[in-house]
């Protein structure tokens, strides 16, 4: 019986990985900002939400309303949309840092935290003012093309979603670990004052961090639109909370941890869906979010720093 259901199980897990890749992209923004200035940027989820609406606006400006069958045109439209969404959300992240967080950099930690929540609400209200409070459809740009692997039907969109997310995450990891900008980011994260004394432009490094985090949120917004095909003004709060959970699960401040945390979070609902198939009377899918946070709690009980986080001594 298990072998008969294997294609279904693999297909659900592939969908879970694609969803987890989106969470991972958003989680990277949380973990980067926290690693640099130790701030939980609760407005980051709403930057992702803005990215979904920017995707809609760009597609409308390009005159795209239906599925694009010409591969050259499809690639061109997706590249233009991705660049605009990533640049816009990256600049939005920079503006948020400059206007809301930089003046409070030396204030008690509660002040920027409350400010982050305020910025989140402002972004949601702006989106609601422009697009309304109902769900807004995203044009179904990508054709529904599938392929078979051992009896398993897999959508090319799911594969591309996963691969694009992985490529972006690897590129970020290479930037952090192999470039001068990455060294500056790591030095600021370790000791801001010492980095400044060594000639590192702390403000510029923090701005780059916010830009990169926002750009990844914009890419996640595009991928979300292609996958889910709809968005709403409060989607940033819902998805952002799960992505923040992924960042904490992997180890807040750890890039690799955010990647794996997002993938793990994506696989949890997929696993529950599989269990629900074998135990249909229990309606287990109703407990998806509860299961996600239960796994987080269990991991933090036994490993408070997350899966990839490391305990560091307090600075004195």
By CB neighbour count within 10 A (0-12 exposed, 13-18 middle, 19+ buried), where does 110 fall?
A: exposed
Handedness of CA 33, 39, 40, 45 (dihedral sign): negative
Which CATH number fits the domain that encloses residue 81? 1.10.3470
Whether residue 179 is contained in a domain is answered as: yes
Whether residue 311 is contained in a domain is answered as: no
What secondary structure letter does DSSP report for 191?
-
CA dist 82 and 215 (Å) reads 9
Whether residue 307 is contained in a domain is answered as: no
Query: 155 phi and psi, to 5 degrees?
Result: -80, 135
Whether residue 229 is contained in a domain is answered as: yes
How confident is the prediction along the chain (316 residues), in pLDDT tens digits per residue?
555 677 788 888 888 998 999 999 999 989 988 888 888 898 999 999 999 999 999 999 999 888 888 889 999 999 999 999 999 999 999 999 999 999 988 888 888 889 999 999 999 999 999 999 999 999 888 888 888 877 777 888 888 888 888 888 889 888 888 899 889 988 988 888 888 888 889 999 999 999 999 999 999 999 999 989 999 999 999 899 899 999 999 988 888 888 899 999 999 999 998 888 888 877 888 888 888 888 888 888 888 888 887 654 444 3
Query: pLDDT value at position 311?
Result: 53
Nearest to 247 by CA among 22, 30, 18: 30
Query: 7 phi and psi, to 5 degrees?
Result: -60, -40
Whether residue 312 is contained in a domain is answered as: no
Query: What is the count of structural domains for the chain?
Result: 1
CA dist 67 and 182 (Å) reads 39
What is the SS3 assignment for 303? coil
Whether residue 314 is contained in a domain is answered as: no
> CB under 8 Å to 270, separation ≥6 — which residues?
12, 13, 15, 16, 17, 19
Query: pLDDT value at position 4?
Result: 63
pTM for the predicted model, two decimal places: 0.90
| The 3-state secondary structure of 264-291, one letter per residue | HHHHHHHHHHHHHHHCHHHCHHHHHHHH
Whether residue 308 is contained in a domain is answered as: no
Query: pLDDT value at position 50?
Result: 96
Q: Which structural domain range is residue 73 located in? A: 2-302
What are the C-alpha distances in Å from 148 to residues 152, 153, 155, 273?
A: 5, 5, 9, 21
If you compute the radius of gyration of the chain from its CA atoms, what whole number of angstroms results? 20
Whether residue 86 is contained in a domain is answered as: yes
């Amino acid at each position: 019986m298990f072998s008969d259901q294997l294609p279904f199980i693999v297909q659900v897990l592939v969908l879970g990985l694609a969803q987890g890749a989106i969470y991972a992209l958003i989680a990277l923004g949380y973990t980067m900002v926290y690693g640099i200035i130790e701030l939980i940027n609760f407005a980051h989820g709403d930057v992702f939400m803005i990215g979904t609406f920017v995707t809609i606006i760009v597609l409308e400006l390009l005159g795209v309303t239906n599925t694009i069958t010409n591969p050259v045109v499809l690639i061109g439209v997706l590249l233009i949309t991705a660049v605009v969404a990533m640049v816009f959300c990256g600049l939005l992240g920079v503006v948020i840092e400059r206007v809301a967080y930089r003046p409070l950099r030396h204030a008690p930690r509660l002040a920027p935290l409350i400010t982050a929540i305020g910025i989140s609400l402002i972004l949601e209200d702006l989106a609601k003012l422009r697009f309304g409070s109902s769900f807004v459809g995203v044009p179904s740009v990508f054709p529904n093309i599938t392929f078979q692997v051992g009896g398993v039907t897999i959508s090319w969109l799911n594969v591309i979603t996963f691969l694009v997310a992985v490529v972006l995450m690897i590129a970020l990891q290479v930037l952090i670990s192999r470039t001068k900008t990455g060294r500056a980011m790591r030095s600021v994260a370790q000791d801001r004052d010492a980095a400044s004394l060594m000639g590192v432009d702390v403000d510029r490094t923090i701005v780059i961090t916010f830009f990169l985090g926002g750009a990844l949120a914009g890419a996640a917004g595009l991928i979300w639109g292609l996958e889910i095909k709809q968005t709403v003004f409060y989607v940033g709060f819902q998805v952002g909370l799960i992505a923040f959970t992924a960042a904490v699960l992997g180890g807040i401040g750890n890039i690799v941890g955010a990647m794996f945390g997002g993938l793990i979070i994506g696989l949890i609902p997929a696993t529950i869906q599989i269990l629900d198939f074998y135990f249909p009377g229990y309606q287990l899918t109703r407990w998806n979010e509860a299961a996600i946070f239960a796994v987080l709690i269990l991991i933090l009980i036994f490993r408070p720093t997350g899966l990839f986080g490391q305990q560091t001594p307090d600075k004195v």
